[in-house]
């Protein structure tokens, strides 16, 4: 199940969704009742209006035999720009997959980044559409 959740691009609480990320950054704005008062609503409204500075993305990592777990550095042109929140091997797609936070300006399908694993850097590409069942048809069978 952990593999399929990564292949769907679904985060999990305590790894991908935690208090240091906003709902906007995590892609969870759709689950907020904006007509109701809540702690932090002013800040959430401001972020919703101006946009998030970072975004949770799915990365396909060009590596074999090792996978990320969490908190590995995500690099762009040699500079650390974010970090992996969770990851592992995708058994359906047979690729190493990670979820991580990157600046919104770089969160584009196919954007080439790098991920550091065990002191080595490997190319990684942002994948916008889910790798497994992108249209959600299998969930409805």
Cβ count near 17 (within 10 Å): 16
Residue 83 has pLDDT above 80, yes or no: yes
R_g (Cα) of the chain, nearest Å = 16
Show the tokens assigned to 42: 């002013």
Give the pLDDT confidence of 102-141 residue by residue, as tens digits.
Answer: 999 999 999 999 999 999 999 999 999 999 988 888 878 8
The Cα–Cα gap between 138 and 90 comes to: 17
Q: Is 106 exposed, middle or buried (0-12, 13-18, 19+ CB in 10 A)?
A: middle
Domain regions of the chain by residue span = 2-140
* 74/104 Cα distance (integer angstroms): 14
List the CATH code of the domain at 2-140.
Answer: 3.30.1360.120
Q: CB 29: neighbour CB atoms within 10 A?
A: 15
DSSP secondary structure, 66-101, as one string? ----S--EEEETTEEEEEEEEEEEETTTTEEEEEEE
At 134 the pLDDT is 87
Q: In 3-state terms, what secondary structure has residue 120?
A: strand
Entry pTM: 0.92
Q: What is the pLDDT of residues 16-50, one digit of tens each?
A: 999 999 999 999 999 999 999 999 999 999 999 99
């Amino acid at each position: 199940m952990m593999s399929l959740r990564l292949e769907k691009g679904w985060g999990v609480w305590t790894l991908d969704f935690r208090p240091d990320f906003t709902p906007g950054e995590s892609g969870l704005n759709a689950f907020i009742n904006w007509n109701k008062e809540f702690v932090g609503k002013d800040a959430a409204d401001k972020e919703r209006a101006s946009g998030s500075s970072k975004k949770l993305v799915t990365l396909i990592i060009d590596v074999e035999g090792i996978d990320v777990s969490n908190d590995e550095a995500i690099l762009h042109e040699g500079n650390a720009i974010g970090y992996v929140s969770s990851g592992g091997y995708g058994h359906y797609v047979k690729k190493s997959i990670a979820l991580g936070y990157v600046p919104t300006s770089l969160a584009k399908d196919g954007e080439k980044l790098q991920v550091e694993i065990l002191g080595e850097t490997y190319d990684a590409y942002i994948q916008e559409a889910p790798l497994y069942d992108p249209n959600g048809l299998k969930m409805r069978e």
